[in-house]
Structure formats: structure tokens, C-alpha cells
Structure 1
Amino acid sequence: MKEEYITSAYRAAQARFQELGVDTEAAMAQLAQTPISMHCWQGDDVRGFESPDVALSGGIQATGNFPGAAKTPVQLRADMEQAFAMIPGKKRINLHAIYLDSEEKVERDQLEPKHFASWVEWAKQQQIGLDFNPTLFSHPLADDGFTLSHPDEKVRQFWIDHVKVCRQISAYFGKELGTPSVMNIWIPDGMKDQTFDRLAPRQRLLAALDEAISEKFDTKYHIDAVESKLFGIGAEAYTVGSNEFYMGYAATRGTALCLDAGHFHPTEVISDKITACSLYIPHLLLHVTRPVRWDSDHVVAFDDETQAIMREIVRNQLQDRVSIGLDFFDASINRIAAWVIGTRNAQKALLKALLEPTATLKRAEQSFDYTTRLALLEENHSQPWNAVWDYFCWKNGAPVGQEWLPLVKDYEATVLAAR
């Protein structure tokens, strides 16, 4: 797209927004400094490098067999760099423990920072932060459907020790990169059919988590987060780590709370939970995804809920208390394209929220002028925010519009096809 068209369209849009009291330059500056944590597992269908031939478990499924999935850390990082080149603004990478870079097999309770040293050096080169997750699935000691709430003390201790070493790795990321690593704990624990004792597993989980996070880390290096789920495949009747469990845990233990857009009842949305949780919990982690009929983790679209999530963050000035991460995996399409589409859509939704006439709308609502509120909200949908987005991409050296797609196709033909 020609520079003169991009800049002239932006100047016209800037004038339109100025009439509403919205500073487009300030909005772009805020967008540029708000990182989106891109998830590593889209690049290889959640297989990792511990035992990549082991089948997924814990209620996780990646469907499709698109050619070119990354098979090594080097390939995965190269694919991420391709995605970075097409995504403007600030990025992070979210790693799972099974994405270690080691020539020898390492058991999960024996992981050390050295097994992720190559990731840190790469992150320094890319000038990005790293986030982390212990991996409590796809392992023989998770085959019973229980990990941190397992009735066998030895099995439970294995997973406690895994979380402990992962926290040390996460803090290592934060110290080396100068930005806190948010480490999210999600477990698949639950039962497929009618449950007799719902209390005992939750008592065990509470005690296990308390032990696992007992070592204190400075939050400028490491932040703990816990993530609930409504149900999973193989845990349809009962999930130990329910929303109520983790809400209470985060509020009483001072951890962050992860809200995943696909982990609630289909009639619930996390956009409605953000402000309520913010009253009691100091830090929120969001897993932005697109559930289709439930937690199917489709590529993030520029849909109503994605826009609503970003509006809630911006309208209530929660940018410093909310970490935005992505969580989806689609093996039926080009995996790099999935990253690009999903991340750019999250950024578009955030920019559109930043371009709202927030002060005017709040004044109208507080004075019970609901006519003005509705009129401005509806008119705002057709404001030329997309011209600001194009200009933001151009200004930050990222492709404008669909110009990124031929670049992905070329990489697919020259690199992915050879794998």
C-alpha cells in the first residue's frame, strides 16, 4: 500500500478523532507499549521438545495436519521471528516447560534454568520478555487424571516439585530479561463421571499449591498465576480447579488470576469478569482465545468478545494490572499465519478501545444521559480506526493490510515445505 495513501487516510482519521477529544498519537503510543504474549504451542501443536512423539493428554487436542510444524527449538524460534516481522508493537513469548532446549532427556521435576538458556539468549536478541507455564499434562504421572490433587502422595510431590523448579526458571527469565515473567499454573485434574467426594481433591490441591509456591520471589522478576476451567475432556463431571477455587486462592494468596475466554459456560464472557475480579485481585492474566461452542481454542478473531475484553481494560485503566496472553492452536492452517492473525486481531481490538471518547462517555453515563451514551457508542463503530491501524503498522515497519499474507506463503514454500 502506498505511503501517501496511508498517511493521508491517517491525517483525515486523526482529525475525525480529534473532534471527539481523542488523541490518536497517544493511543498509538499506548498500543506500542502494551505487549501481547504470543504462545509457543501454536507453532508445533503443543508437542514440545521433551518427548514430541508422546500423544497429547489432559483434555487437549490439536486437529489438522498442515505441513511444516516446528520440530526443534531452532525451527520454532525461526517461525516466531517470521511472525514477529508481521506484527507491529511490543511482543512477548509464552513458553511451556516441555519446550526445553536440551540434548538429553530431563525429568520435569529436575528442570533447571540452563535447559532454557538458549531461549533467554534469543529473547535478548529479539528484545522481548518471556512468560512460563509448568506442564502438568502429557505425562505418565498425569494419566490418572490427577496431578497436584492426586491421592498418591508420591505422585503429588512430583508435580509439586515440578512447579517449584518452574518458578525458579520463571524468576531466571525475569532477572535476565528485566521484565517479570508471568507463570501460569493450569492442571487437568478432574473426573469423567459422577463424583462422590469433591472436597478431598480440593483440600489436596490447596495444600499442594501452598507448598509449591512457598518460596518467595520478587514480583519484578516472577508473578504466579492460577487458571480455572469449567470442565475438560475426561473431566466432564468434576473439575478440581474450578472458578470458585482459584478466585478464592488468588484473593487469599496474592497470586494473579488467569481468565481464559474458553474456560467458562458458553453464556459467560470474561469481559464481564475483569472489573469484578480487579476489586479483589491485584493482577490478572488473560488468555485471549476464541471458543466455538466451548474451549476449542480457535484463532483469535476481531469479534465482539475480543473487542469487549480490550474495552474493559482500557475504559477502567487496568493496563498496568492486566497481562494479555494468547491461547489457541490450529493445525489445519499455516501456523505462522495463525499467530499473525490472532495477535494482530488482539492489537486491533486494543487500538479500537484506545480510540474511544472515554471521558465523554463516562460523563454522559454519570449524568444519566443514556441517549448520548448509546449514540456515541454506536457511531464509534464506524469511526475510521482502521486508518489509524494501517498507519501504526506502517510506522512500525509491519505489513499493512493483507500484505503480510504473500510473505507467509513464500516462507511456507521455501522453508516449511522442506521439513
Structure 2
Amino acid sequence: MSLKSQFELAKSEYEQWGIQVEEALEKLRDIPISIHCWQGDDIDGFEVNKAELSGGIDVTGNYPGKATTPEELRMDLEKALSLIPGKHRINLHALYAETDGEIVDRDKLEPKHFEKWVAWAKKHGLGLDFNPTIFSHEKAADGLTLSHPNPEIRRFWIDHCIASRRIGEYFGKELGTPCLTNIWIPDGYKDIPSDRLTPRKRLKESLDEIFAAEVDDTFNIDSVESKLFGIGSESYVVGSHEFYLSYALKNNKLCLLDTGHYHPTEMVSNKISSMLLFNEKLALHVSRPVRWDSDHVVTFDEELKEIALEIVRNDAIDKVMIGLDFFDASINRIAAWTIGTRNMVKAMLYAMLMPNEHLKELQEKGDYTKRLALLEEFKTYPFGAIWNYYCEQMDVPVKEHWLAEVLEYEERVLSQRK
């Protein structure tokens, strides 16, 4: 049976519940996922004076063929994008600046150091998002940055964040789509602190100064990202969820939720509805924590589906900016991008093909039996036939056939790299 015939049969099943499948596919085409560039090179970046990876971040594995130049990274991203349905965005970190061999410290970065990224994004019709890189640097060696007691170190990171916001503004102007510039810091203490307040006071003052710098929010959107703990900050993180949630609300900034930055039993999907009541927009970094913030490749698991359901059934597709954040060096990196991003897109489609309004009505009536029964039965509805047809329509490989293209690229391109 052809994919089209399978699609028509599946569509008829969903339409019995009033689900408009064609409409869902049209909406799905317009949902951009911000794909993180750092999966492709294990967060090495292209700084002339590279420092070792730090900030409680670790990338494990030594799968051959990682990108070692900007050209290789962009080429690998192009390959991954050719296997993922839809038109998406690319998320950059400051350490991916291209300075033509000149040592340019992060507080001195300018838009010109990202001109090649912008030219590439224009060529492929992509939006760009951005992050100041507040780790892997001698001025972050003791695990403190924007909350550091040394005002000179704070000054350096404040200036870097201001420079990053201006780079984000440049991206937005050049590409015609606003850039999300997200601030995350590793600041914290390994053991129980004797003063939790003072570092947070310094962080607040640093953020106030960063956001006081004039940047056009038509082109740049600011967000702040929390964390529960990290390697070297197991007992206390300055930028906690409560801190950034409060700061974002008071200062009209986006609060970014990373799915790995909470207690193992604390689900980001459960936070989305609450935050939507008090925030016009919010941002996500979707990852997969395994026992801790381990940033595994996103799989089509229950939490991913629940995140997508919260976005879709609360009519928040235009209110939630979806980005990814994982890095695995134990598998083919292009496969990692492809698996994770296709799963995020797949989860959004899955959520669109649920009888969400009917399920809401059942809950309001207190008919929990029927609600649970339908939720379970829809897990085996012919969702795959809709997904396969969508991939075919978007001119990307169907089912696992994308893997053959990745392996061919590995043999032809990746295996030739040192």
C-alpha cells in the first residue's frame, strides 16, 4: 500500500474525532525548532585561544568525524537539515565566532565575527539564535562569573553579555526574524554555602546592567536560564529557577526552561501551563536527562510528548520558543541531530492529532474513566502513517531511510577528517 493510501486511511480514523489532519500538517510546517550547533563539535568552538570545557559541562565519547572548522560544522548542519522536515533555526554560542586567526576575547566580540554565519543562514533561509559563552574560560575557572566577588571579573562577563545581545540584534536585523539571546551561567558552590543571598544580589546587579544596554527588542529577545545543580555546584546554584522566574517576570524577560535543569522527578511539562498564565512567552531547551543533567539525545518518550501536548492543547504554539540542547559524542553527531530534532517535530504532530478539546471536556465533567481510556487508545492510533506522509511531502527520508544517508555521508566525508 502506498504512503498516500496509508495516510488517507489513517486520516479517516482521526477525522472521526473532528481532528483536521491536513490543517495540523500545515501548522506543523511553520513551527521552527532551534537546533543547537554544539552537538556537531562537542562544544569545542573556534576560538584561537581555546580553553578546556568547563562550567560543569561534560561531553563523553570519541566517535570519529566531528567538525573542527566552521565550514565543516555548517556542512554537517546542512546534512542534518536535509533529513529533518520543516524550516528551522540554528542556535549558536559565542565561542563559534570566526576571527580569522586573531585573538578576540569574548568581551570584545562584534557582529563582524559572525558575518559568515549570517551569510550562510541567509542562503538557507534560517533564523539564528545566540548565547553568550560563560564557561570554558580562564575568567570562569573558579566556577563564578556574573556573581563573582571580584568586580573586574564581573565586568568582563557583563561586557560579554552586552556584546552578545548586540550580536543577537544584528542577527535579527539581517535575517528578518528575532534572535533569542539566552543567558546561562554556571555559578555556584560545591558545598553548602554560608551566604546564599550576596551572590544572588551580585547576579541581579549584573543582569540589571546587562539589560540596561540599549538593544532593539524588535530584533533581539532576551531570556534567562536556570539550573538546579551542576558538576562543581552540587550544593548551590546562584541562578536558580526561583531567582530567574522572579527576575524574568519583574523585568519583562523570557524565562527559559531546560528540561535537564530540575530535580529528576520535576517535569518541565508540568510548569508550562502555570508559566503561560503569567508570561506572554517562554522558551525551552529540550534535552533528555538520565539521572542528572546529562543532555542525552531527545527520544520520543512520555515527557517529550507531554511537553508538546502542553504547548498544543493550550494554544501556545506561538508563545513557546522551542530549542534543543543535547550533546553526545558516542554516536554519529549528524544522526544525533536528526534523531533529536525529528523527535521534537514528531511530538508536536502527535499532540496535534489528539482530541484535545474532547479530553478537556471529559476532565471538566469528571469522567476520568473515559479520559484515561481515550488517552491510552490514541497511543496506538495510526500516527506513523501521518508522520511518514508528512516526511514524504517535505521531501525528507521516510522512516529509518535517513540513516543510510548519514552512513553514506560518514563514509564519504566524516571518515576523511583527522
Q: TM-score, normalised by structure 2?
A: 0.98
For 2:390 and 2:301, how far apart are their aligned partners in 1? 21
Query: How big is the shift at 1:380?
Result: 1.0
The CA deviation string for residues 318-365 of structure 1, in whole angstroms up to 9 with x for no partner, is: 111100000000000000000000000111111000111122112222
Structure 1 counterpart of 2:14, one-letter code:
F
Alpha carbon RMSD of aligned pairs, Å? 1.0
Q: Cα distance 1:108–1:53, how it changes in 2: closer, same or farther (>3 A)? A: closer
For 1:281 and 1:144, how far apart are their aligned partners in 2? 34
Match in the other structure for 1:94? 91
Contact 1:186 1:228 in 2 (8 A): yes
Aligned length: 416
Match in the other structure for 1:174? 172
Q: SS of the counterpart of 2:35?
A: strand
For 1:168 and 1:250, how far apart are their aligned partners in 2? 19
Structure 2 counterpart of 1:404, one-letter code:
W
Within 5 A, what are the aligned runs for 1:16-165? 16-51=13-48, 53-103=50-100, 104-165=102-163
Once structures 1 and 2 are overlaid, which stretch shifts more, 272-281 or 47-56?
47-56
Within 5 A, what are the aligned runs for 1:252-401? 252-401=250-399
Percent identity (aligned): 56
Query: How big is the shift at 1:186?
Result: 0.3
Contact 1:113 1:172 in 2 (8 A): yes
Q: SS of the counterpart of 1:393?
A: helix
Match in the other structure for 1:220? 218
For 1:231 and 1:268, how far apart are their aligned partners in 2? 13
Query: How big is the shift at 1:260?
Result: 0.6
Q: Cα distance 1:52–1:10, how it changes in 2: closer, same or farther (>3 A)? A: farther
Structure 2 counterpart of 1:27, one-letter code:
A
Q: SS of the counterpart of 1:295?
A: strand
Q: SS of the counterpart of 2:289?
A: coil
For 1:327 and 1:52, how far apart are their aligned partners in 2? 25
The CA deviation string for residues 146-177 of structure 1, in whole angstroms up to 9 with x for no partner, is: 10000000110000000000000001101111
Once structures 1 and 2 are overlaid, which stretch shifts more, 106-115 or 45-54?
45-54
For 1:254 and 1:54, how far apart are their aligned partners in 2? 34
Q: SS of the counterpart of 2:89?
A: strand
Structure 1 counterpart of 2:406, one-letter code:
V
For 1:332 and 1:85, how far apart are their aligned partners in 2? 22
Q: Cα distance 1:361–1:302, how it changes in 2: closer, same or farther (>3 A)? A: same
Contact 2:49 2:103 in 1 (8 A): no
For 2:90 and 2:4, how far apart are their aligned partners in 1? 31
Query: Unpaired runs of 5+ in structure 2?
Result: none
For 1:220 and 1:16, how far apart are their aligned partners in 2? 43
For 2:356 and 2:147, how far apart are their aligned partners in 1? 45
Query: How big is the shift at 1:278?
Result: 1.4
For 2:47 and 2:278, how far apart are their aligned partners in 1? 38
Query: Unpaired runs of 5+ in structure 1?
Result: none
The CA deviation string for residues 349-397 of structure 1, in whole angstroms up to 9 with x for no partner, is: 1100011112211222222222322222111111111111000000000
For 1:151 and 1:63, how far apart are their aligned partners in 2? 32
Q: TM-score, normalised by structure 1?
A: 0.98
